[in-house]
Amino acid sequence: MAKYQERPKTIEAWKWPEEADVIKDKVKDAMVGAKGNLYIQGIAERIKVTPGDYIVEMPDGSYGVCQTLTFETAYQKVEEPAMRLMQNTYTGGDMIREI
C-alpha cells in the first residue's frame, strides 16, 4: 500500500467576523443574515458561514468554508517578508532589504 502526503500550498483565507471588511471587499455576493451569520455563494449553492469559520479562496477562484478547528489544524499563518532598513556601511546611505 502506498502512502501519500498532501503537497504544501499557500491559500488565502479570512476569519468571520474578525476580517469582515476584507471579506466584503473580496467575496462578491456575500450577505449578512440573522444571528451574525454570513452567506456566500459556493460552486453549487449558498454556504452559511458562522462566527469563527474561515472563508477559503480555492485555486479556481471559488470560495469554501472551513470550521475553525479543522482550519487551524491544517494550516498555519504565513508571515509576509518584512522589509528591514539596513545601514549601508560602504556608502553611508540606507538600503532596504527583504528578509
In a domain, 93, yes or no: yes
Residue 27 counted as domain residue: yes
Examine residue 7 and state whether it is found in any structural domain, yes or no.
no
34 or 94: which leads in pLDDT: 34
Residues 6+ apart with CB under 8 A from 83: 96, 97, 98, 99
Give tens-digit pLDDT for 12-53. 999 999 999 999 899 988 999 878 899 998 888 899 999 999
Judge whether 1 lies within some domain.
no
**Which pLDDT does position 23 carry in this prediction?**
92
* Structural domain count of the chain: 1
Owning domain of residue 93: 12-98
Cβ-based neighbours of 71, under 8 Å, separated by 6 or more: 13, 53, 54, 56
Whether residue 54 lies inside any domain: the answer is yes
Per-residue pLDDT band for 99 (boundaries 50, 70, 90) equals very low
Could you tell me if residue 2 is inside a domain?
no
Q: Output the average pLDDT for the chain.
A: 82
Separation CA 94–CA 80 (nearest Å): 22
In a domain, residue 46? The reply is yes
In a domain, 77, yes or no: yes
